[in-house]
């Protein structure tokens, strides 16, 4: 008879320690929050249990003698194209626990990544390229509703715009830090994003967990979020940010709500979210005051009234099959910005089956939404922001060519400060001090150091964006937005090409 859960016998990672190099310093014992390593009094040496390893590689990174190697467990099940090892292990886990499988981060499955099947155009003789080191290159982006036409009047100082533009967000680069709530990640990371956004002239999103009182001073670079749970939402919070985002859905878990375990609700999170200390924070699947576009319209204008029409209001939805029609309704309801979040978007916690099997790639959905808004003649009335699987500056440029005004990055930002995508964010034991509120673990993230790394990432991508624009013979983001003629598809069928609105390579 088995004396332990069967799933423990088929663990994912194997820890190997070179005992000749190991000096039993116990650094690995102190660094691992999952108790993979332990001190054995009888043997007077460090021992380990590979079944507990989640593959974060922190022990490898910090081992002073480099004696540790963490690799995938080479043990394999009999080859079977239907019953792969992943499904067998999942069945073992659910038979052991009777619970829902949970995962963090984004979908890891081998599904098409359309960014990799799109190539950018380049200038040659007839359309000379532009050198961004010697010629002006405009990466500044404005998010918000634009009028159908502009009217000017002559004044002694020269032509002056008649009327008043809707509130706009001004980004020095078409990149923002995506919604990651206080509680899902800790205060140190929220502060780091605020500092980095301020330094680089972009914005960060609070996520649905409210805004810590000490971060209000960074409000001019903050987007505050209103989600179904209304955590931390009050008048001062709404007025603290530069824009307000209504979260209807997210790419990692379309159609369902959220759950922040009580273990992650410490005193500061409790105060900010306005929930009892140690209690679970449950976000309902729907907003209980939104069951139609008309209901959404009421909330949009309630938020505009509460902030005296001084801030743009954004609406975030997951990439789903009818997102284009939904986005059209959102714009007609008065939203200034529409955010589309693809199925590769990251999360602190989601049911594994939903994360990996629900939603659409952001590339296809973004192109469909941009085309629908143009066909309806309302594209100028709202900006589009793409998120969910943006990995590099080339993805940013391709997203803009497909119709985005800017992008959100989440997982890329976390990787920049040390995340290794181990996917165990929901446990609250993040070895890198990111998705945790445990005092000893969150100290591993210094907000000033993390802010510098995030700012470096944005600036590096900004330089690369300028180079790519120059290589295409363009000198501004505005000239690229929705310009699908600057893209060509490789290895795509005709339906995919038509959905993306691009030509095949060679055409």
1-10, 16-25, 383-392: the lowest-pLDDT one: 1-10
The mean per-residue pLDDT over the stretch 259-286 comes to: 91
* SS3 labels along 363-378: HHHHHHHHHHHHHCCC
d(CA 273, CA 260): 11
d(CA 290, CA 334): 15
Beta pairing partners, 48: 37
Q: What share of the chain in percent tops pLDDT 90?
A: 90
- Three-state secondary-structure class, residue 220: helix
d(CA 192, CA 452): 8
Of 323, 331, 337, whose CA–CA distance to 223 is shortest?
Answer: 337
d(CA 458, CA 416): 10
DSSP conformation class of 476: B
d(CA 292, CA 443): 44
User: Could you tell me if 181 and 46 lie in one domain?
Assistant: no
pLDDT at 140: 96
User: Could you tell me if 360 and 240 lie in one domain?
Assistant: yes
Confirm whether residue 63 is marked as ligand binding.
yes
User: Could you tell me if 67 and 201 lie in one domain?
Assistant: no
User: Could you tell me if 184 and 60 lie in one domain?
Assistant: no
Q: List, for residues 336-380, the tens digit of each pLDDT value.
A: 999 999 999 999 999 999 999 999 999 999 999 999 999 999 999
The mean per-residue pLDDT over the stretch 54-68 comes to: 97
- With a cut of 50, say whether residue 423 has pLDDT above it: yes
Q: Show the tokens assigned to 85.
A: 């090892």
Contacts of 185 (CB under 8 A, 6+ apart): 348, 414, 434, 435
**DSSP labels, 136-172:** --B--EEES---SS--EEEETTEEEE-S-PPP-EEES
User: Could you tell me if 210 and 71 lie in one domain?
Assistant: no
In a domain, 61, yes or no: yes
- With a cut of 80, say whether residue 267 has pLDDT above it: yes
User: Could you tell me if 297 and 415 lie in one domain?
Assistant: yes
**DSSP labels, 222-262:** EEEEE-TT-TT--HHHHHHSSEEEEE---TTSTT--EEE-G
Given a contact cutoff of 8 angstroms between Cβ atoms, the answer to whether 258 and 229 are in contact is: yes
pLDDT at 292: 94
Q: Show the tokens assigned to 306.
A: 């509460």
The mean per-residue pLDDT over the stretch 423-437 comes to: 95
pLDDT at 2: 53
Count Cβ atoms below 10 Å from residue 132 Cβ, excluding itself.
Answer: 18
In a domain, 94, yes or no: no
pLDDT at 166: 93
Please provide residue 10's backbone torsions phi and psi, each rounded to the nearest 5 degrees.
Answer: -125, 65
The mean per-residue pLDDT over the stretch 234-238 comes to: 96
Inter-helix orientation angle 393-401/362-375, to 10°: 30
Inter-helix orientation angle 447-471/187-200, to 10°: 40
d(CA 266, CA 244): 26
The mean per-residue pLDDT over the stretch 311-327 comes to: 97
Furthest-apart CA atoms within the chain: distance in Å: 93
pLDDT at 324: 97
Q: What is the value of pTM for the model shown?
A: 0.94
Beta strands, E only, 391-471:
406-409
At 214, the pLDDT band (50, 70, 90 cuts) reads very high
pLDDT at 157: 86
d(CA 463, CA 242): 26
d(CA 408, CA 171): 12
Q: List, for residues 151-210, the tens digit of each pLDDT value.
A: 888 888 888 888 888 999 999 999 999 999 999 999 999 999 999 999 999 999 999 999
pLDDT at 164: 85
- With a cut of 50, say whether residue 1 has pLDDT above it: no
Confirm whether residue 422 is marked as ligand binding.
no
In a domain, 203, yes or no: yes
- Three-state secondary-structure class, residue 103: strand
Given a contact cutoff of 8 angstroms between Cβ atoms, the answer to whether 229 and 208 are in contact is: yes
User: Could you tell me if 201 and 334 lie in one domain?
Assistant: yes
pLDDT at 235: 94
CA 272 to chain CA centroid, Å, is 22
**DSSP labels, 333-350:** TT-SEEEEE-TT---S-E
User: In 54-136, which ranges are continuous DSSP H helix?
Assistant: 58-62, 85-97
Mean pLDDT score of the chain: 95
Q: Which of 34, 57, 78 is the endpoint of a domain? A: 78
User: Could you tell me if 62 and 206 lie in one domain?
Assistant: no
User: Could you tell me if 285 and 407 lie in one domain?
Assistant: yes
Q: Which of 78, 109, 132 is the endpoint of a domain? A: 78
- Three-state secondary-structure class, residue 304: helix
In a domain, 137, yes or no: no
User: Could you tell me if 354 and 209 lie in one domain?
Assistant: yes
User: Could you tell me if 68 and 185 lie in one domain?
Assistant: no
User: Could you tell me if 377 and 254 lie in one domain?
Assistant: yes
407 phi-psi bin (left φ>0, alpha ψ -120 to 50, beta other): beta
In a domain, 268, yes or no: yes
Of 161, 144, 143, whose CA–CA distance to 152 is shortest?
Answer: 161
Handedness of CA 267, 348, 342, 449 (dihedral sign): positive
In a domain, 166, yes or no: no
pLDDT at 3: 65
Given a contact cutoff of 8 angstroms between Cβ atoms, the answer to whether 171 and 406 are in contact is: yes
Place of tokens 């699908």: 484
The mean per-residue pLDDT over the stretch 264-293 comes to: 92
In a domain, 150, yes or no: no
Confirm whether residue 25 is marked as ligand binding.
yes
d(CA 314, CA 383): 9
pLDDT at 5: 82
Confirm whether residue 430 is marked as ligand binding.
no
User: Domain of 415: which CATH number?
Assistant: 3.20.20.70
In a domain, 200, yes or no: yes
Confirm whether residue 160 is marked as ligand binding.
no
Q: Show the tokens assigned to 35.
A: 């108790």
Confirm whether residue 59 is marked as ligand binding.
yes
Q: Structurally, how many domains does the chain consist of?
A: 2
Please provide residue 259's backbone torsions phi and psi, each rounded to the nearest 5 degrees.
Answer: -150, 115
pLDDT at 152: 87
Q: Quote the domain boundaries for residue 67.
A: 6-78
Q: Which of 78, 95, 114 is the endpoint of a domain? A: 78
User: Domain of 63: which CATH number?
Assistant: 3.30.70.20
The mean per-residue pLDDT over the stretch 439-446 comes to: 96
């Amino acid at each position: 008879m088995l004396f332990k859960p069967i799933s423990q016998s088929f663990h994912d990672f194997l820890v190997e320690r070179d005992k000749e190099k190991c000096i039993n310093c116990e650094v690995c014992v102190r660094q691992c929050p999952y108790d993979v390593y332990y001190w054995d009094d009888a043997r007077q040496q460090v021992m380990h249990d590979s079944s507990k390893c989640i593959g974060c590689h922190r022990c490898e990174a910090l081992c002073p003698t480099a004696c540790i190697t963490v690799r995938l467990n080479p043990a394999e099940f009999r080859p079977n194209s239907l019953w792969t090892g992943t499904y067998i292990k999942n069945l073992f886990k659910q038979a052991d626990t009777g619970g829902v499988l949970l995962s963090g981060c984004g979908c890891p499955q081998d599904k098409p990544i359309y960014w990799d099947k799109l190539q950018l155009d380049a200038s040659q003789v007839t359309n000379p390229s532009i050198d961004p080191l010697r010629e002006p290159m405009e990466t500044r982006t404005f998010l918000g509703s634009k009028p159908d036409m502009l009217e000017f009047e002559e004044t002694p100082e020269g032509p002056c715009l008649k009327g008043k533009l809707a509130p706009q967000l001004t980004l020095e680069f078409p990149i923002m830090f995506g919604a990651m709530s206080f509680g899902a990640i800790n205060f140190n990371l929220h502060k780091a994003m605020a500092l980095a956004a301020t330094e680089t002239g972009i914005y960060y999103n609070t996520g649905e967990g409210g805004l810590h009182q000490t971060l209000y001073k960074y409000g001019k670079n903050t987007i505050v979020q209103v989600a179904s749970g209304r955590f931390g939402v009050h008048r001062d919070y709404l007025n603290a940010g530069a824009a307000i985002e209504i979260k209807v859905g997210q790419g990692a878990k379309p159609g369902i709500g959220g759950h922040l375990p009580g273990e992650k609700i410490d005193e500061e999170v409790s105060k900010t979210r306005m929930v009892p200390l140690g209690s679970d924070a449950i976000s309902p699947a729907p907003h209980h005051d939104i069951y139609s576009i008309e209901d959404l319209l009421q909330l949009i204008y309630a938020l505009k009234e509460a902030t005296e029409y001084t801030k743009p209001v954004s609406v975030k939805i997951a990439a789903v099959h009818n997102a284009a029609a939904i986005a059209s309704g959102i714009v007609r309801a008065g939203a200034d910005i529409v955010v589309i979040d693809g199925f590769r978007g990251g999360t602190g916690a989601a049911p594994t089956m939903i994360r990996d099997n629900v939603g659409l790639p952001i590339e296809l959905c973004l192109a469909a939404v941009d085309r629908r808004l143009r066909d309806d003649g309302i594209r100028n009335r709202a900006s589009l922001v793409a998120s969910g699987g943006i990995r590099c500056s080339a993805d940013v440029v391709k997203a803009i060519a497909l119709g985005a005004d800017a992008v959100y990055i989440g997982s890329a930002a976390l990787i920049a400060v040390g995340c290794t995508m181990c996917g165990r964010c929901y446990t609250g034991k993040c070895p890198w001090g990111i998705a945790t509120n445990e005092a000893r673990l969150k100290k591993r993230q210094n907000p000033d150091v993390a802010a510098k790394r995030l700012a470096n990432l944005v600036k590096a991508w900004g330089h690369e964006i300028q180079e790519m624009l120059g290589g295409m013979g363009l000198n501004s983001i505005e000239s690229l937005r929705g310009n699908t003629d600057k893209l060509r598809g490789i290895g795509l069928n005709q339906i995919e090409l038509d959905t993306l609105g691009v030509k095949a390579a060679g055409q």
